[in-house]
Structure 1
């Protein structure tokens, strides 16, 4: 990526931020640092959500979530809520977001995260049949 400045006709498109701003790249090579922040944040959020939803699947190896509801283990629900809360704190507290090099997500981006992570529940439910 260090030779990016030597690439002819390389352009990078911008993206919108959670607060309604827009990140553009005056220097297209900035894409490989600043531009990756949104993708890394989305990837991290999808992984966090998948792991939390997969924890729900682990309530029982044989029984569906319909047969053994999540509230049968309240400690697990507290742990999941705490994990998501910590993730939100890291995302939306600017000091921590800078440390972890992530950016806040918009509502639409959270919908995308859920779209990619919720199928883990459906897949495990099908495997339990």
Structure 2
């Protein structure tokens, strides 16, 4: 179960980075091929300045996606098999408080100038936050689907049992 969520976390983080370069209104809106060849920018003719790759925005979006998706993962971990609809977040107020504290600290890092300089990040716009939430929220859906299958497949894995003849009860040995 964990592998699907972890794979999604990685994909969402990379998607946040790519989104800013390719699709964001305040981004450079590069072609995907231009982004993939960023390392040769200075040695070829481009329609954009190579300094676009020094912008802190894409890494800030990626980092924020990572923070938010992990907060959603924390909610997912209220129970290994039960849905968030069965065990609501407020059933563990310590977890809710830690998520709130983490998000407050992240917001301070993004929006308080000395901290943003120290952490090399830049403030995000509302459009950026919408994309962060769009990229982060599916981890809850993925986990809910995995939990559903986990609850409803109990015992399916162990229907076929191998037994060694020397461990069979005496009755089963006589039947053979």
TM-score w.r.t. length of structure 2:
0.59
Q: Which residue of 1 aligns with 2:71?
A: 52
C-alpha RMSD of the superposition: 1.6
Aligned to 2:45: 9
Cα distance between partner residues in 1 of 2:51 and 2:47: 10
2-side partners of 1:100 and 1:11: how far apart? 30
Who is 2:91 aligned against? 72
Higher relative contact order (CA 8 A, sep 6+): 1
Matched with 1:89 is: 108
| Aligned with residue 29 of structure 1, among 40, 50, 59 | 50
Unpaired runs of 5+ residues, structure 2, are 1-37, 149-176
Cα deviation code 1:85-115 (max 9, x no counterpart): 0000000001111111111001111000000
More helix per residue: 1 or 2? 2
Secondary structure (helix, strand or coil) at the match of 2:101 reads helix
Over 3 Å counting, the alpha-carbon distance change for 1:64 and 1:3 in structure 2 is: closer
Return 5+ residue gaps in structure 1 as ranges: 13-27
Runs of 4+ in 1 over 3 A off after TM superposition: 1-5
Q: Normalising to structure 1: TM-score of the pair?
A: 0.80
* Matches of 1:66 and 1:29, distance apart in 2: 48
Q: What residue in structure 2 maps to residue 123 of structure 1?
A: 142
Aligned residue pairs: how many? 111
Higher alpha-carbon Rg:
2
